[in-house]
Amino acid sequence: MWPAVAVQVSAGAPTGGDLSQEDWVWGADLLLTRSFANRLRIHVNGGYVVASEADDNDFWRGGVAFDIPMGFTSRLIMGDVYTEVPVDTGPTRVWAELGTRIQITNLTVIDVGLSTRLDEWNDGAANVSLVVGFSHVFGIGGLVRVPEYPDPRIR
């Protein structure tokens, strides 16, 4: 069976923290997802990010992620490890994230989690940042056959 395929466009805002970027960054990613045993999903993602010189310029990124439903219809635990490889010179950065996703409607989710840059741990800088995300799906109904189901309720 083939994996599900998606394209994601993202923007990152500067927040002033040590792990934050100095300027806005923009990215696009290709996501491949495969389900196993009706619960565990594995994701392989790759993409490109446009960043300013203050943020070490553009870079390629790629990683592996997982998610597992928590037993509720609208929540799950997720985590990932990914690398950022600068287009120009510079060190490869390695990140890890762990968090949760809460589904607000059939098409809208909020992500909350923690992130750290693993390659900095060797230098004694185990910084941790808060990650908050908002996603809204703009699907093309004719391409995917999904049965109707009611809006999830947050309890």
Q: What ranges do the domains of the chain cover?
A: 4-143
39 close to 68: Cβ distance less than 8 angstroms: yes
Give the pLDDT band of residue 21 (cuts 50, 70, 90): confident
Q: What is residue 150's predicted lDDT score, i.e. its pLDDT?
A: 60
Beta bridge partners of 103: 109
State which fold the 4-143 domain adopts. Answer: Porin (2.40.160)
Cα–Cα distance between 14 and 88 in angstroms, integer?
22
**pTM of the predicted protein model:** 0.71
Sheet with strand 40-50: strands edge to edge:
4-12, 25-36, 40-50, 59-69, 75-86, 93-103, 108-117, 128-136
For 64-106, how does the pLDDT look when each residue is reduced to its tens digit (9 = 90+)?
999 998 876 678 999 999 999 999 888 898 999 999 998 888 7
Q: How many CB atoms lie within 10 A of CB 41?
A: 19
Q: What tens digit of pLDDT does each residue of 97-145 get?
A: 999 998 888 778 899 999 998 888 777 777 788 888 888 877 666 665 5
4 contacts: CB under 8 Å, gap ≥ 6: 32, 33, 34
